[in-house]
Amino acid sequence: MKTVSKILFLQMSAAILFLSAAGLANGQLICTRAGWQESGSEYCIVMPEVYNGRLVIWAHGFQDAGTPIGIPLDQLCFDGVCTYDILTSMGFAFATNSYSDTGLAVVEGTRDIVDLVNIFTDFYGSPERIYLIGASEGGLITTLLTEDYPDIFDAGYALCGPIWDFRYQIKYLGDARVIFEYFFPNQIPGYGIFNNITTEILPVEWDDYFETHIKPLLLSNRNKFEQWVTVAKLPFEADDPVNTWLNSAKDVLRYAILNLQDAANKLGGFPFENRWTWYRGSANDLRLNLRAKRFGADPAAVSEMKANYNTTGDLDRPLITMHTTKDQQVPYAHEFLYNLKTLAEGSVLTDHINIPIRRYGHCQFKVEEALAGLGLMLLYSGDLQMLRGIGSVLQGDQLESFDSIAQQAGLPFQIEGDRLDAIFNK
């Protein structure tokens, strides 16, 4: 799960430039209160001028293993417009943190966010409502916390997260790496997910290595490239297949090469399993399956994933999920299969609503989609009476698209108003 930089409200550009971007000064986030949690996680709280009594916590997405611990600013702002400016302009308090580690940090993230609630409460008192929003890895963290802490969080909004089964997520990425090695043997130093090549073997940054070595290799072997994409089930855009194939290739290989060793360390063993997998879609599936390298997952890693990384679908608080249907990093199938979990637990449609976005890309949401999801989270928590001032931030096709989503979901809104605002139930 690559670092997410264009998610949720981050694509609110020209249409909402009336909102202040004063929260950034010389590239730094200005916090009302900031510091370090006991775990080593950095935190930041931004208070609005007029506080509506509601706190929104942002759970950020994945950061490559080994990167410095710190709040990922690139996940907070896009084109000078920042999530906390939007939310605080509506009266929400905003808080976020870095987690106490990079790489796989689901366990650390859940613990650090619960502690962040306590820090906020110590300084500002107990909020009337606490909402949690997260994307990618943060989407999984949001889902786990919404399930496990209904006494703390009033609702969750999880975007493009691996919310069904973490082992399935590891397998998607691992399969792509194994099949790549079959079609293009020895083109990446070491065997990626099975050797720690990030510090000892790979001589340059992955993005550079991909552009200078892997991309020309794929383009010059188009037939093998297409077979790999098919067998690995990499999504692509029909109107731009080659470029989206390449983008999907870079992303799935990135995680397998740079981060699965870190995952194995934290999970207590090797997490990938393909001993009984039958791969399909090549020109010669029998040959592929006879020659593809096989691996078995360590039982300790499987147990750890089941215990601390898998959701249950048992919801006592509303959870809104949004996911692009052609997500190259986190397969959309997570959403469908999580729906089955909620159905088994009796939570489907009452506490869980999924909004599928028919588009290629990881967390590639538009402003109207993000706003609709926020409104639904507030509505299903019993807090929202109406979103007002939609016409101040959306026009033309954006407004038409928002209207379509809102009408289907039963979200009340008012176009009129000189600013975006949430009218709450009393």
Q: Summarize pLDDT for 284-318 with one digit per residue, the tens.
A: 999 999 999 999 999 999 999 999 999 999 999 99
Q: What is the arithmetic mean of pLDDT over 101-130?
A: 98
Beta-ladder partners of 321: 158, 354
Query: Distance between CA atoms of 6 and 275, rounded to whole angstroms?
Result: 37
> Are residues 193 and 260 in contact, defined by beta-carbon separation less than 8 angstroms?
yes
Q: For residue 354, what are the contacts with CB-CB under 8 A and spacing of at least 6? A: 320, 321, 322, 323, 335, 338, 339
Q: Which of 108-117, 248-257, 416-425 has the highest mean pLDDT?
A: 108-117
- What is the structure's pLDDT at 365? 87
Q: Tell me how far apart the alpha carbons of residues 33 and 44 are, in angstroms, rounded to a whole number.
A: 6
The mean pLDDT value for 380-396 works out to 93
Of 269, 289, 270, 287, nearest to 278 (Cα)?
A: 289
pLDDT at 113: 98
Predicted local distance difference test score (pLDDT) of residue 426 = 79
DSSP for 266-321, please give it.
Answer: HHTS-----TT----SSS-HHHHHHHS------HHHHHHHHHHT------SS-EEE
**Three-class SS state of 146:** helix
- Asked if pLDDT for residue 12 goes beyond 80, the answer is no
pLDDT range class, residue 102, cuts 50, 70, 90: very high
Return the minimum-mean-pLDDT range out of 29-33, 231-235, 316-320, 322-326.
Answer: 29-33
User: What domains are there in the chain, each with its CATH number?
Assistant: 8-164+312-424 (3.40.50.1820), 166-305 (no CATH)
Closest CA to 93 of 54, 132, 61: 54
At residue 342 the predicted structure's pLDDT band, cuts being 50, 70 and 90, is: very high
Q: What is the mean pLDDT of the chain?
A: 88
